[in-house]
Amino acid sequence: MVVNSDKKLESVLHIKSEIMRAAGEYLREQGFVEILPVILSPVTDPLHHETYAGTVDYYGRPYTLTKSMILHKQIALRTVPRIFAFSPNVRMEPEARAPLRRYLAEFVQLDLEVRDASRDEIMAIGEGLFVAVVRAVLVTCADELTTLGRVLTVPEIPFARIPYQNATEQYGEHYDDQLSSSLFAPAWLIDFPRAVREFYDREDPTRPGVLLDMDLIYPEGYGEALSGGEREHTLPRILRRLKQDGIPPERFSAYLRFVKEGLPASAGFGIGIERLTRYICGLDHIMEARLFAKVPGAVDAL
Ligand code: AMP
Ligand code: MG
């Protein structure tokens, strides 16, 4: 038997396990119910950037591997008001993204959604979750953090809020890395313009063209932590948004059946577990944050 002697990787896996435990515990305390992830479906997140489709022949029909559980989360909220899932996502990202060191072709999102919630409420849950996870890791994984040489601090709540427009004015369209490198604590990026996001992020009724959504940005150059927002949930608005994006509604007919019956208003987010592990452990590359990592474009991974 070959025994793994990689102490660094072992420490990372311990910390990741603790991150997931602490996150689940925090969310349960907040009244969330964990649901199981969806792997295959006739519909998935269209995303705002190109990824190669993971399509599977499902009894003669094209089903896709989940890119995010957003649409299923909205439908699940008809049954339970506060949900989360550790959701495996397959996004065969363009190879050009590999050098950014924060993309995998297969990763896991901690995806959560709350019926009738506002963006502010969801941001408060995000802050509470982040702080609870960092605290738990500091208490239970002190040895592992020492092995990794990582010094972590608990950030103060509430996190700063930066409007998208300010970030792009200061750093340009590719603000991500520079903004993240300039931060000493996590910060929210809010109010993305309609054109840069998917059809399901809710447009602010008082500010046409501006969305009630947000990203959380890690400090120290680790980049985007999560994306989320309030959601569009009514049929006319969703149809209008699909049209704006040039997406034929037939592509989402399985989802639109539920929209016609009625979806609750909601807000939520998805936070990438490998990126969170990378940040907490202070890892150079996201591929160090999990076993069997698949870097975009590399085809020799298990
Ligand atoms: P999105 O809604 O597309 O922003 O995805 C939600 C979160 O999932 C992001 O903020 C990241 O933390 C994580 N994520 C998205 N794509 C990837 C990827 N290719 N590899 C690793 N994590 C990702
Ligand atoms: Mg995002």
Q: Which atom of ligand 1 is nearest to the CA of 93?
A: 19
Is 224 close to ligand 1, i.e. is its CB under 6 Å away?
yes
Nearest partner of 13 among 287, 290, 293, judged by Cα = 290
Residue 34, domain member (yes or no): yes
* pLDDT recorded at residue 157: 98
Residue 301, domain member (yes or no): no
Pocket test for ligand 1, best of 109, 201, 213 (most atoms within 8 A of CB): 109
* pLDDT recorded at residue 49: 86
Q: Is 80 exposed, middle or buried (0-12, 13-18, 19+ CB in 10 A)?
A: middle
In three-state secondary structure terms, 204 is coil
- Name the closest-CA residue to atom 2, ligand 1: 227
Dihedral pair phi/psi, residue 186, rounded to 5°: -60, 145
Nearest partner of 261 among 77, 36, 63, 21, judged by Cα = 77
Instruction: Answer whether 118's CB lies under 8 Å from 230's CB.
Output: yes
Instruction: Answer whether 10's CB lies under 8 Å from 280's CB.
Output: no
Q: Give every CB contact of residue 162 below 8 A, 6+ residues apart in sequence.
A: 179, 187, 188, 189, 190
Note down the domain range covering 223. 5-289
Is 87 close to ligand 1, i.e. is its CB under 6 Å away?
no
- Name the closest-CA residue to atom 10, ligand 1: 226
Six token digits for residue 127: 């802050």
Give the domain CATH number at 209: 3.30.930.10
Instruction: Answer whether 28's CB lies under 8 Å from 110's CB.
Output: no
Residue 236, domain member (yes or no): yes
Residue 67, domain member (yes or no): yes
Instruction: Answer whether 275's CB lies under 8 Å from 12's CB.
Output: no
E-strand ranges in 66-199 read: 82-90, 106-115, 160-163, 187-190
Q: Which helix (H) or strand (E) holds 168?
A: helix 164-171
Residue 295, domain member (yes or no): no
CA 81 to chain centre: 20
Q: Name the residue with tokens 């049209």.
A: 243
Q: Which atom of ligand 1 is nearest to the CA of 48?
A: 3
Say how many domains are in the chain: 1
Is 68 close to ligand 1, i.e. is its CB under 6 Å away?
yes
* pLDDT recorded at residue 5: 67
Residue 205, domain member (yes or no): yes
* pLDDT recorded at residue 44: 97
Q: Which atom of ligand 1 is nearest to the CA of 224?
A: 10
Q: Name the residue with tokens 């599977």.
A: 56
Q: Which atom of ligand 1 is nearest to the CA of 97?
A: 19
Residue 17, domain member (yes or no): yes
- Spell out the per-residue pLDDT of the chain, length 302, in tens: 677 669 999 999 999 999 999 999 999 999 999 999 999 999 999 999 888 889 999 999 999 999 999 999 999 999 999 999 999 999 999 999 999 999 999 999 999 999 999 999 999 999 999 999 999 999 999 999 999 999 999 999 999 999 999 999 999 988 999 999 999 999 999 999 999 999 999 999 999 999 999 999 999 999 999 999 999 999 999 999 999 999 999 999 999 999 999 999 999 999 999 999 999 999 999 999 999 999 999 998 89
Number of H helices and E strands in the chain, helices first, is 9, 11
How many angstroms separate the alpha carbon of residue 150 from the centre of ligand 1?
23
Nearest partner of 226 among 188, 197, 193, judged by Cα = 188
Residue 299, domain member (yes or no): no
Instruction: Answer whether 189's CB lies under 8 Å from 214's CB.
Output: yes
How many angstroms separate the alpha carbon of residue 121 from the centre of ligand 1?
21
Q: How far apart are CA 29 and CA 31, in angstroms?
A: 5
